Each structure stands twice: as C-alpha cells, then as structure tokens.
Structure 1
Amino acid sequence: MEDSVDRLVAVWAREMHRVDPVKEAIVARLTILARHTAQVRRDALDSGGLGHGQYKVLLMLRRSGPPYECSPSRLADLLGLTRGALSARLGPIEGAGLITRTHEKGDRRRVRVRLTAAGHAAFEAQAGSEDAGESALLAALTEAERRTLSDLLRKLVLAAEAERGALAPAQPAPRRSRSDGS
C-alpha cells in the first residue's frame, strides 16, 4: 500500500540525492500524524464547548489528584501563565461552575482552586471525546503493533529529551520574594 508520503519521498529521492528517503518518510509521517491528532483534539474541544485554555485548567486540576485542587500560583506555573493571565482565565471557568476559588481557613490571603462536580464531568466528557478520536486513529494497528510503536516512539522521545537536557520533567521557576526585586 502506498500513502501520500511514499509519493513525496519518491520525488525527493529523484530530485535531491542527499535525502535519506527513510528518514524523510518517518519525519513526514510523524508530522502528518501530529497535525491529525491536533485536529482531533480541536474537534473534540469544539464539540464539548470548552475552550483549549479552559480544558487545560481542568486537566491540571484533574492531574493533581484528590481533592483536585491547587493554589493559583502553582496552577499558573503548571500552565506556563502569569498570575494575571491565570486569573483572567479562571473567571469564566468559575462563572460556568466548573471550578471554585475558596480562601483557606485561618489565612484569607491563601486561595485554593478546586474542580467542582460539574468541572469533573466536563473534563471527563472532553477526555472521552479525545479518547474516541485517538482510538479511531490507532484502530489500524494490532495490540502488538501499538506496543512496538509506543516503544519506538519512547526511544525517540528519550533521545530528543536528552538532546535538550530535559531528562526530568520541567520544573516551574522558583518564585522570588518581594524583597529580591520582584
């Protein structure tokens, strides 16, 4: 069976002799699959009514484990947002009843952002929609092929992370106190 990449690689091999056709085919297919997966996720978001930024907030709270809450500063760090940008994003999500912001007892300055039952349901619906699209893509592979592909992709990810010095998950930058110029 021939796909669009096979046809492109044949042209590249004819026109540019320095091109490694296997490498070009791998990279082109990874690019096509990345675009396809991104579109499946956008379609799932559109059908679920959540914006990308809203979904990311719910995702980070869900990842935090029970009771599915965290401080706004930690949430901003996880999302790579400024505190102001996060605050602007939280308002509509809170208005929709998907999260609550509460003050800690004993210290009104400390706020906790918590996923509500409605937020949990919205996240689960969104995740289920994404899962269906991803499963449809992978349906072309047997279980053994999926495991093999996963192992090969892990090898590539490890090499890419090692090249960038990112063997450990990215850690948020430490917060500076007001006394050190922030």
Structure 2
Amino acid sequence: MSDVDVIDAAAKEWAAAFPRLDVSPGDVLARVQRLAQLIEEAQNRRLRRRAGMVVSNVGDFDVLRALRRVGPPYALSPTRLRGAMLVSGAGLSGRLKRLEHEGWITRETSPDDGRSLLVRLTPEGVADLDRDLEAHYAFESDLLRAVDLDTRRETADALRVLLLDIEARP
C-alpha cells in the first residue's frame, strides 16, 4: 500500500501549477469528501446485496435507521425525521414515497395534530432492520479496520468539533 493518496497527488500538481496557492485545507476536507463518496458507494453495494426487503440506497437506509433508533412506536414527523437524518434531507418526499411503496413505512395523520403527518416503520420493516443491524454495523466497523480504536476516537472527536462549528455558522 502506498503512503500517497489521490489528495497528495492533487496537492503536488497544484504546487507545480500554482505554487503560491495554499491547498492545505484539502488535506482534511478533500479526504473527508473522498471518504464520504467511497463509504456511500460501499454502503450502497452492501444494501443492494443484503437479504430481506429492498433498500435502494444509503439515504433510504438512513431514514429507516432514524425511525428505528427513536424506539416504539418508530414514528416521527417529516420535519423531525429530516433533523434526525445523518445524510441530507433533500428529496425526502421521494424517499418516503419509495419506502412506503416497498413496505418499509406508512404515512398517517398525527393523532396529536390532524394537520400533520407521522412517518412510521411498519412491523415488517422493524423486523427486517433488526435482523440486519448487527451485520450492518459490523460492515461499518470493517470499513475502519485500518485505523486503531484510539485513533478512531481521536478522529471522531476532531470531526465533532468541526461539524459543530460548521453547523453553527449562518
């Protein structure tokens, strides 16, 4: 395995093409973006191969995980669901339509406010997720196998600081 990645190669090209340009933010940001792309591709491949109900992509899976982790009755309003997701909430209505069609969720009128909707995991959806969650998180752990536990914690801490700062900006 080489110690030079695509980000190092790009920095070297920038140094030759535009020597005064400081591309050092890419040491972190470009790697985060590239990792996000590669992780999403790997997760999508895994989701397409998993047994059980169809999950089209990691964005749809994120909706399902957000509903499952809130506990019974596994329901959130679309607004709260968007806030609970780890991926972008863009296209949420399309995701919900697809997940409803595939039997994962129902959309129903909120018993607390007849003007709003609740998105709820179906019992079949809960059961299917519960059969797969340990395997999914084992898969995610395997994605991190090159990094020891202490480094994972340090990286998570540093990324938390960055995430909170960027989220707090106007």
Does the alignment reach a TM-score above 0.5?
yes
Superposed displacement of residue 23, structure 1 = 1.9
C-alpha contact (below 8 Å) 1:58/1:115 kept by paired residues: yes
Q: Can you give the 5+ residue segments of structure 2 that lack an aligned partner in the other structure?
A: 83-88
Do the aligned residues in 2 keep the contact of 1:44 with 1:129 (CA within 8 Å)? no
Residue segments in structure 1 that go unaligned for 5+ positions in a row:
166-182
Letter in 2 for 1:43: R
Measure, in 1, the Cα distance between the counterparts of 2:90 and 2:25: 36
SS in 2 for 1:67: coil
Check if 1:141 corresponds to 2:150: no
Distance in 2, matches of 1:104 and 1:8, equals 51
2:165 to 152, 159, 164: 159
Q: What amino acid maps onto 2:55 in structure 1?
A: L
Question: Equivalent pairs: percent with the same residue?
Answer: 33
Output the TM-score relative to the length of structure 2.
0.68
Deviation at residue 16 of structure 1 after TM alignment: 1.2
**How do 1:1-182 and structure 2 match up within 5 A?**
1-48=3-50, 49-52=54-57, 54-70=60-76, 74-75=77-78, 78-79=81-82, 88-89=97-98, 91-93=100-102, 96=103, 98-99=104-105, 114-162=120-168, 164-165=169-170
The residue type paired with residue 147 of structure 2 is L
Distance apart, 1:125 and its partner CA: 4.6
Of the two structures, which has the highest relative contact order with CA contacts closer than 8 Å and spacing of 6 or more? 1
Change (3 A) 1:87 1:159: closer
Q: Is this contact kept in 2: 1:62–1:120, CA < 8 A?
A: yes
Cα deviation 1:57-94 (Å, max 9, x = unaligned)? 43332132123234xxx13662458997677445423x
Aligned length: 157
Cα shift readout 1:28-53 (whole Å, capped 9, x = no counterpart)? 21121011111122112212331246
